Every structure is written in C-alpha cells, then in structure tokens.
Amino acid sequence: MNPVLEPLFRTVRATHPKADLRLIERAYDVAAYHHRDQKRKSGDPYITHPLAVATILAELGTDDETLCAALLHDTVEDTAYSLDELRADFGENIALLVDGVTKLDKVKFGDAAQAETVRKMVVAMSRDIRVLVIKLADRLHNMRTMRYLPEHKRQQKSRETLEIFAPLAHRLGMNTIKWELEDLAFAMLYPKRYDEIARMVSERAPRRDLFLQEVIEKVSADLREAKIRAAVKGRPKHYYSVYQKMIARDVAFDDIYDLVGIRVLVDTVRDCYAALGTIHARWNPVPGRFKDYIAMPKFNMYQSLHTTVIGPEGKPVELQIRTHAMHHRAEYGVAAHWKYKEEMNTAGPSGTKLKATGDMAWLRQLLDWQKETADPGEFLESLRFDLSVSEVYVFTPRGQVIALPEGATPVDFAYAVHTEVGHRCIGARVNGRLVPLESRLGNGDTVEIFTSKSPDAGPSRDWLKFVKSGRARNKIRQWFSKERRETAIEAGKEAIGRAMRKQGLPLQRLMSGESLLVLARDMRYPDVSSLYAAVGEGHVAAQTVVQKLVQSVGGVEAAEEDIAETAVPTKLRGRPRGGGAGVVVAGDSDVWVRLSRCCTPVPGDEIVGFVTRGHGVSVHRGNCPNIAQLKSDPDRLVEVSWSPSEDSVFLVAIQVEALDRPRLLSDVTRTLSDQHVNILSASVTTSRDRVAISKFTFEMGDPKHLGHVLKAVRNIQGVYDVYRVSGAGA
C-alpha cells in the first residue's frame, strides 16, 4: 500500500469499514499520475488537494464512490484524462459524480455568472446530492489554504462561502463543515472583527469554563440518579455564530457568551424526553424557549430537543438533548448517509418506509424555482434569502405541515400551497379567526386561504412589502412583469417625476430622451421603457435613478469654488496672523491663515495654501479630495510651510470601529478625555451588522501625541480599528 494513503485509509476503516480500499487506491494512482506536473499556488504538488478533499469526506463517513470521485474531481478539467476514459476505468456512477463537480467548476464568476453556477449546482445535486457534498469539501480545503491567493480573490471566495456554500452545508445538515467554512470566511473578510471576538472569548474562557463544569456535573448526577445513560458535554462556541447572534438578537457580547451551551446525548428517543423532565425538575425552564425538533424535524433532517433553563447563579443555560444517531446526523448531515439511495426504498428501524421527499423537499423547491425564474441574479437573491432564514411550521386545514420562513404571512402560505392559490388569495383565517393578509404566522398555526373566483383576480403590489419567502416574491414579480408591464411603465415614469419635483430639479432637461436612454443602457436596461418598468415594479428605486441622472449632467450645481469655507478659524490668541495656525505663507508672514476643516492638516502633512475671497488663506493637505477642484484656479494657490509654536492648536479627525455594546461611546470619550484632548464634535452610527463607527474631531497641541491617543482607544474592549481620517465631517 502507498504510505501516503495510510492516514486516509485509517479514517475510512473507522467510518466506513466495508469500503473498497483497492478501488480508492487505484483512483489515487490515476489522479497522482495525471496531476504529476502540476503545482498549487502554495508550491505543493497538486495531488495534495484531491487527497485532502477525500480525507475530509472520509471523516464525514461518505462511501467509496464519493471518495474516488473526490480524488479524481479535477482530472477531467485540469488534465488530458477524458471523461470517457474515466467512465471506462471506474464505471458510470463515479463518472457522473466527477462530471457533476466539473460542471460546477467550469463557470466563470461575476454576479450573474455566479448565480448561473449555483443554478448548475442545483441541477447537479438534484441528480446526485453527493456532487454537492464533494463540492463543499473542495471549498473547505480551498478555504483552509486561501492565504496563498491574491487579496481580491480571497475576498471574493470568502464572500461566496459565507453567502452560498456555508448556508448550503447548513441546509444539508453538514454542521461541522458549515461552522468551519463560516469561521474561515469570517476571519478572511473581517480579520479585525474576528480577532476582537477571539480576544474577548479568550479573556473570559477560564471563568466560563468553571461555570460550565459545574453545570455538566449537576446534569450528569441527575441523569445517573434517574438511571438514564447519557454523555453530557459543553457545546463549542464558533466565533462567527457569536457574531451572528450579536446581530440577530441585538445583544451585547457578554450576554451571549455567558449563555452556557450543553449537549446531552442519550440512547433512545424516550430517554430524550426523560432527560428533559429530569433537567426541568432541577432548574426552571425559560418560557417560550423550548423547541421539539424530534417530533417536528427541521428542513435539513435535524432532530433535537432545545430548552433554556435558569441555571446556577441565575444564569441561563441552553441545552440540546438528542440520541447518538441524531447527533451523527446533525454533525454530518446527508454526507453521512452514504446509503441514502437504498435507505429511501428500504424499511427504517421502526418498520416505516423512509421517504426522501420529506428529507430533501428543499431541493425539489429549488428545482421548481430554477424552472420559474428566468433571471439568474434574481434566482441567486432568492436562494441567498431562503438559505439564511429560520423557519416556522404551519398546518393546512387537512393537517399537512408546511415550512415557511420566519415572519411569513398568509400570502407566503398561499403561494407555498399553489401559485394560483397565491394569485387569487383575498383573505385568510388563522386558527379559525379572520386575520389581515400581512399578519405574521407562528409555529403550529392552522391556516385557511380564501380565493377569488373573478377571472381578473391577481396579486397586489403591496404584498411585496411584507412577503418573506423567495417563492412568493418571485411569483408576484413574475405576475406583474407579464400582466402589468404597461401599468408599471406609467407608475415608474410618475415615480421618477415625483422624485424630481420633490428636489426641485429641472424636469424637462433631465427627462430628455437622450440622457434617460444613456442612463438606461448604463444600468443594463435595453430601453427607457424597461427602466420605467423596473422602477414601477420596485426593482430600482426612483431616487436612485434621479441621483444617477443628476450625476450624469454634472451635479445639481457646481460646488462653490472655495471649500475651506466650512473651516473654523483656529484661535489666534493675539499672535501673528500666520503663527496661531502654525503655518506661514511664503513671502508674507502677516496673512490670516486657517487650517481647513475638510482635511484637518497637522504638522508633518504635505500642505497647500489657497487664497479665499475675504477669508485669508485656507490650508489643505496635499492629498485632500478638494485639491483637484482648487487646482482649476492655479493663480490662487500659494506656497505654505509649517511653523508651529507653543500656542498652535491643530484639529484632528479620527474614526473608531468597534463591535457595538452598551457604554461603548462613554468609554471612548472618557479615554480621549484621559489623553487630554478637547473633543469638538462626535458622530456615531451603528450598522445592521452590529458595528459601531464613531468619528471624533478634537484639538491637540502636539501632533506626536496622536499615536498615544490611537493606542489608548484601540485598547478599549470591542474596538478593533482606529485611525486618522482626512475629513472631520466625512
């Protein structure tokens, strides 16, 4: 046996004892031969990549056909080895898998092309889901070795991973893959946020681990006493999931991180409920936090009991209770089901027939979408949206369960039942009571839809404001694009006109056919009507079109020639006119000089002077964005140089980026005060992804002191970046 394969075979023997090792070794030999002259970006022989992908899949417990396909997955694309040769050497099944993976890799990237890639992925995985499993393992190994790629490639691949591949792994129940993909992509895309969370986690780890140990010991003792065989352990915290919870639950890091997670593994389903009763007997459960995913599994076959209790010291403890089999499925998902085709047609452990349709209903839904949605970009948007949301489960009047995105409405339900039911929906009854169509559905609701018999019945455009499912949104948009194009064109025209009137813009000049046609082409619409229709259907905001039109004709009005004019004169304190600002004008020391507020220059910066009308000379940094405009009047540019004195005071603008938390602003302002700087202005914005961006403008006498100020601010908990910016108000 080839010694290189020993680690792989050791894993295969442990997870899939009946695998044909000779076949796997033959696949390795063929792949190694054909990749023999190729190297990876890291300089390693290329064969290390297929071998690593096969090892990842072996750890998940996949079958020997999948492992062979993983070893051969790049041969057809990157070497002279043809698909027909591969089919002759390894049979139809392995050839189909390799062909599926090759098709996914062949597509060029870019937004629409990326959507097209995902579409091909859906087709490939509908034929054999193992194609996607191989692709996910391939992406995981590429993410692990991403550091050898150029920066723009790393950003692109990481974003794709976070938006498409990690959620797909989640949909297929492959949580081990999902978590690692998320953390690797998060570290690549937002290294400073990742490092800050890692630092905060490591600082609290010792105290938290003691508390965790105490909880585990108490739960284990209770279960032993109740004669329930169980393995109790802490759940690992993944940095990206901590960050996601900060955004989704809108709470501070401490509140999430202090929430201890425990996993209880037992032998049978009956033991799951017995363990739940035992735990609830010791600690009070938190109302509304119990979920039974055993009786009603999640979309990706995930089963578990979830509960949150108030544990020792009054701290909440999250528990997941599941059988060992459920745990295996939760970790590895479909990848562990290497016998999934046989299982679909054979009896399950309790004698019931296992159905693939329920497990993978989501795949069927994706196939439906991709037949319905002509625009690849729209398909990708729907897919991203559908991948990222959690679900609610509601019932039809006949008791059939339908899964919908969280926050879904009766309109989403109607479209989930049938397109025509959605189009003709005029009312709904939830749990026997009439409700508005925009009301949110909750778990366990029974929903009944009323439809119109009128031949002209159709959806309302207002529904787009509240529907949550990609399917409903696509169907409503399709209906409008087919049936109501003329109306949409009129509505779009009106909306653009209204937006212009609101801003007092010259309607006739801006809406001339020529400028609109140029804009339509720039925005990739074939003609002006299509642009109007896009606005009318809500694909593009009227305001966006107006802004682009204004830019195309050179701005609302040319800016005033002087920018410095927002500048605030620095205090002169009776010194010579140039000295208070610490700047002198070449050839004339008695000119009133002031430092421009738009770029806040300090000694050490390259500077330029500009003679203003009636306000002396304004001084700008050499790289100030406004210099280009000032240079259009070169006669008014003058040479200036630094000449700071003891009384000179300079304006500095800094930007602070931090993970949002309570009292963050007061901590930053207190630190700045401790550094003896006089804050003149501050602005704070918090984005949806829980990042607080604060901008401060302050006065300081000695610019060398700035380094100490930045260092002090960077040491504040949650702050991951702080730097000087070129504009005080920018």
pLDDT (average), residues 207-234: 87
pLDDT (average), residues 301-309: 85
What pLDDT is recorded for position 553? 61
Is a pLDDT exceeding 90 seen at residue 42? Answer: no
What pLDDT is recorded for position 124? 54
pLDDT tens string 566-613: 333 333 333 334 445 667 777 666 677 777 777 778 777 788 888 877
Mean pLDDT of the chain: 76
The C-alpha atoms of residue 57 and residue 12 are separated, in whole angstroms, by 9
pLDDT (average), residues 82-94: 83
Which range is least confidently modeled, 295-304, 480-489, 627-636?
Answer: 480-489
Which range is least confidently modeled, 11-25, 308-322, 354-368, 525-539?
Answer: 354-368
> Annotated catalytic, 77?
yes
Catalytic residue (choose from 20, 25, 77, 375): 77
603 vs 556: which has the higher pLDDT: 603
Is a pLDDT exceeding 70 seen at residue 402? Answer: yes
> With pLDDT > 90 as the criterion, what percentage of the chain qualifies?
4
Q: Label the pairing between strands 230-234 and 260-266.
A: antiparallel
What pLDDT is recorded for position 341? 38
What pLDDT is recorded for position 110? 45
Beta-bridge partners for 427: 450
Beta-bridge partners for 594: 618
CB 139 within 8 A of CB 106: no
What pLDDT is recorded for position 235? 75
> Annotated catalytic, 359?
no
SS3 435: strand
What pLDDT is recorded for position 58? 83
What pLDDT is recorded for position 570? 39
pLDDT (average), residues 447-466: 83
667 vs 171: which has the higher pLDDT: 667
The residues near 343 (Cβ < 8 Å, ≥ 6 apart) are 337, 354
The C-alpha atoms of residue 259 and residue 215 are separated, in whole angstroms, by 12
Beta-bridge partners for 342: none
pLDDT (average), residues 158-179: 80
User: DSSP letters of 590-653?
Assistant: TS-EEE-TTT---TTS-EEEEE-SSS-EEEEETT-TTHHHHTTSGGGEE-EEE---TT--EEEE
CB 55 within 8 A of CB 8: yes
pLDDT (average), residues 681-685: 80
DSSP 403: E
179 vs 203: which has the higher pLDDT: 179
Question: Where is mean pLDDT largest: 1-10, 99-108, 204-213?
Answer: 204-213
Question: How many CB atoms sit inside 10 A of residue 221's CB?
Answer: 12
The residues near 124 (Cβ < 8 Å, ≥ 6 apart) are 100, 101, 103, 104, 131, 132
Angle formed by the axes of helices 64-72 and 48-60, to 10°? Answer: 160
How long is the chain?
Answer: 730
What pLDDT is recorded for position 555? 55
673 vs 389: which has the higher pLDDT: 673
Is a pLDDT exceeding 60 seen at residue 112? Answer: no
What pLDDT is recorded for position 340? 38
Confidence of residue 407 (pLDDT cuts 50, 70, 90): confident
Q: What global pTM score does this model have?
A: 0.59
Is a pLDDT exceeding 50 seen at residue 266? Answer: yes
Catalytic residue (choose from 20, 78, 561, 667): 78
SS3 566: helix
CA distances from 277 to 227, 296, 408 (A): 13, 19, 32
pLDDT (average), residues 161-172: 78
Is a pLDDT exceeding 60 seen at residue 719? Answer: yes
Is a pLDDT exceeding 90 seen at residue 274? Answer: yes
What pLDDT is recorded for position 379? 56
